[in-house]
Structure 1
Amino acid sequence: MIKVIQELLNKLNNLIKENALMNTMQIQFIFLSSKLDILVAKMPVSHKIFQPFGYLHGGAVMILAESVGSSISFINIKNEKKNSSNVFSIEISANHVKSVKKGILFAKAKIFHKGNILHFIKIDVYDENKNIISFCKLTNIIMTKNKYVNRN
């Protein structure tokens, strides 16, 4: 099972293309539970993701949370659906309770509901000392590729 988990983490990290936002934000997937219900990613904190007043931008935290939350849904799509479906976030909310100016942020996503169409995910964002930075809730929709292709 350890080999399968490592292969899934490698697959996720390889999906981050050169021009993808997750690459720009330097997000890396580092842990996946054996039940495939928890995924952890990390992202370095730098001045590039600060808001104008010198604090961590809430949008940067949301990018990290949505990235890890969407990825846990992707992992949990049944194998036969992976080639014919995609995951889209349709709702995300966050409560930012603390800010950081340096170090590494971690996002731990736990999938709570795995329906055929909707997935509900809870994401905790924390620092290197396990201090909570934000807690988020994400809803993903699983859509068949031919349903959202623009036919014009």
Structure 2
Amino acid sequence: MQTVLDAVPGTLVERMGIEFVEVTAERLVATMPVAGNTQPYGLLHGGASVVLAETLGSFGAMLSAGEGRVAVGVDINATHHRSARDGLVTAVATRVSAGRTLASYEVVVSDAQGRRVCTSRITCLLRDAVPGA
């Protein structure tokens, strides 16, 4: 049986160095290096934090959707609290709700010292997969 993580090679997830530590429908944890994901000033790019958050929330929503269903992101927001300059950031996505048609996750991105860098919320539409797609 193929898992959501089989879709990682050759994607933005691989390019950004995102590595999964824990994956369940209720909670996902992943790390990402700051190096290579910075803005010109040497700080972690806010967009990189959002990519990390959307990756975890989308994968969680796919797991919540179940067999024969897909998840499609419909909303994401992010509040950036502080910068990160080096090391790894760690994201923890916690399922807020999941029903037949929507799944929402809160994602907290923290630096190597455990300080909150970003808080994000993502909502995905859950729908039946298109046959043959």
TM above 0.5: yes
* Corresponding position of 2:59: 71
- Which residue of 2 is the match for residue 21 of structure 1? 12
Q: Look up the match of 1:5.
A: none
Structure 1 residue 28 displacement after superposition? 1.2
Per-residue CA distance 1:48-74 (angstroms, 9 max, x = gap): 221122221100000000001111111
Per-residue deviation, residues 66-110 of structure 1 (Å, max 9, x unmatched): 0011111112223xxx2x321111100010001111100111001
- Residue 100 of structure 2 aligns to a residue whose secondary structure is coil
**Matched residues in 2 for 1:17 and 1:54: separation?**
27
Which residue in the other structure is 2:34 paired with?
Answer: 45
Q: Is the 8 A contact 2:104 2:124 kept in 1?
A: yes
Q: 1:122: which partner in 2?
A: 106
Can you give the 5+ residue segments of structure 1 that lack an aligned partner in the other structure?
A: 1-7
Residue 12 (structure 1) shift: 4.1
Contact 2:65 2:127 in 1 (8 A): no
Alpha-carbon deviation of 1:146? 2.6
Distance in 2 between residues matched to 1:143 and 1:21, nearest whole Å? 24
Report what 2:50 is aligned to.
62
Q: Normalized against structure 1, the TM-score is what? A: 0.79
How many residues are paired up? 132
Q: Does the CA contact (< 8 Å) of 1:13 and 1:28 recur in 2?
A: no
- Is the CA contact 1:42–1:106 (under 8 Å) kept in the aligned structure 2? yes
8 Å contact kept, 1:12–1:29: no
Of 126, 132, 141 in structure 1, the residue corresponding to residue 125 of structure 2 is 141
Identity rate of aligned residues, in percent? 27
CA contact (8 A) 1:89 1:138 kept: yes
* Deviation of 1:129 (Å): 1.6
RMSD: 2.1
In our comparison, the structure showing a higher alpha carbon Rg is: 1
CA distance in 1, matches of 2:130, 2:4: 23
Higher strand share: 2
SS at match of 1:76: helix
More helix as a share of residues: 1
Higher relative contact order (CA 8 A, sep 6+): 2
